Amino acid sequence: MEVSGQSDRETYRVIVLGKNGTEVLLTRSGAGLCFPQVTIPRWQRVIENIAIAIRKEWGAEVICLFELPAEPPVDAQNKFQYVVAKHWRGFGESVVSLRWISIDDLREDSFVEPPDYSRLQRSLARCTALVRDPSEEPFTDLSWFDDLCEWVGGAIASRGLYLNGNFRQLNASPCFSLIRFETDGPAVWFKAVGEPNERECPITLALTRLLPNYIPRILAARPDWNGWLMSEAEGINLGETTDRSLWEAAAAALANLQVESIHSQGELVDCGAHSLNIETLRNLISPFMDVTAQMMKKQSKVPPAILGAKELGLLGERLQDALSLLGNLGIPNTLGHLDLNPGNLIVLESRCLFLDWAEAYVGHPFFTFQYLLEHLRRMCGADSLSEEGVIAAYLAPWERVVSRNCVAEAMALAPLLAVFAYAVGAGAWMQPERLSDPKVAGYLRSLVRRMNREANKLSELRSPCLS
């Protein structure tokens, strides 16, 4: 099956180093040596699927370290990508003929493809660098997983838990990691983050103090790795269900979390949450529209529609008016999330846990609910009954804080302003190097067109807040 001209599978060559970095796992043909390869599903977690394929086909377990960046010039026809890994243990027979080769015995002409020798040297240089700031790329070091296992074992021992040796690696890069460890009791998760998501660690640790009922239990933290260890959240993943009652429970939990966060705004901003209050958003309209105008001029194809200066000017005025009206309603700023994914919400019998706060913000609460509502519509379609129940569940806690009329008026304004907050909040529009990527520029243009449609709907409906 082909999707847009691409196969639904992709091939990776895996550079597997021995534990001490003096050997590498290779296959041999009549023409020479090459790195063994695995083929995995496209559009799924790369690291997790590589590990699954290696266990199945090679009878081995590896720790993935990082994907190797392509060497210039990049050959568009090259069907291989490379991942660097460290051998952890073997436990079965391999269906592929593999052998350990001493790195000292290898030369450029040892390989079927001579450039593979330089790839090996680049990998070794990164893994064995003697001069390195451990906090910048902690997960390139060949011994980091040994250190992690020792640390995790010590952190859980005080709770009467012990690692049983099984783990599941979902993510790997020089400064990011996500691993599930099995124990003789409940599983635990280790997560570490780097740029541009470094803020997630201090925000998460702050939330465990400020709003502990909504965050998995944190067992320990590793500031030098910007990481933390947490208990596994046992419940139903909201991204895997369309059960109306569970979505209503999650919506109510989101509202209650936000109400409880009202008095923690300053501390959350200090920890790294985006500050997106009304005044900040108003000040961003003009510069954002200037950047948008330039992006529209660079659009090469029609459709989609190109918005001209007059349309963008009117949109900017409507955003200013809508923000003024929203600010006059008196709904307090709270904790919010610019990218609330139902896959990161775990619904339990009596509460809901929120797992990922990389895009936390402090600002109007209803924007976050609009993002959750958008996911519901994608999953359930135009099911008005399900949507109405979820909306009612979210608004009920807010109607105990502000008047029902104010809540209704804010909900009318939120579809337009939530898109704007999302577009400006992450900051890609302020980074010329990112705007040079056609995909990023195209996506931002699509958000502006969405804003324009929402602004037109708001004007046509003449909701009570605009009367």
Pick the CATH number of 236-466 from 3.40.50.300, 3.90.1200.10, 3.60.15.10, 1.10.357.10: 3.90.1200.10
Q: What is the C-alpha separation between 192 and 138, in angstroms, rounded?
A: 10
What pLDDT is attached to residue 100? Answer: 95
Q: Smallest Cα–Cα separation from 141: which of 58, 53, 57, 66?
A: 66
Question: DSSP E strands: which ranges in 122-254?
Answer: 163-172, 177-183, 188-192, 218-222, 227-231, 236-237
What pLDDT is attached to residue 465? Answer: 47
N- to C-terminal Cα separation, the chain: 54
Class of domain 2-127: alpha beta
Helix, strand and coil content of the chain, in percent to the nearest 5, comes to 50, 20, 30
All structural domains of the chain with their residue ranges:
2-127, 138-231, 236-466
Q: Which residues pair with 24 in a beta bridge?
A: 17, 101
CATH code at 138-231: 3.30.200
**Tokens encoding 370:** 């609009």
Write out the DSSP string of 381-422.
Answer: -S-HHHHHHHHHHHHHHHTTTS-HHHHHHHHHHHHHHHHHHH
What's the number of CA atoms in the CB half-sphere (13 Å) around residue 14? 32
What pLDDT is attached to residue 3? Answer: 40
pLDDT tens per residue, range 148-160: 999 999 999 999 9
Which residue type does 402 have?
V
Strand pairing report for 360-363 and 274-276: parallel
What pLDDT is attached to residue 180? Answer: 98
pLDDT tens per residue, range 239-277: 999 999 999 999 999 999 999 999 999 999 999 999 999
Q: Which parts of the chain sit beneath pLDDT 70? A: 1-6, 71-79, 130-135, 383, 462-467
What pLDDT is attached to residue 128? Answer: 80
> Exposed, middle or buried, 212 (CB in 10 Å: 0-12/13-18/19+)?
exposed
What pLDDT is attached to residue 252? Answer: 97
What pLDDT is attached to residue 315? Answer: 97
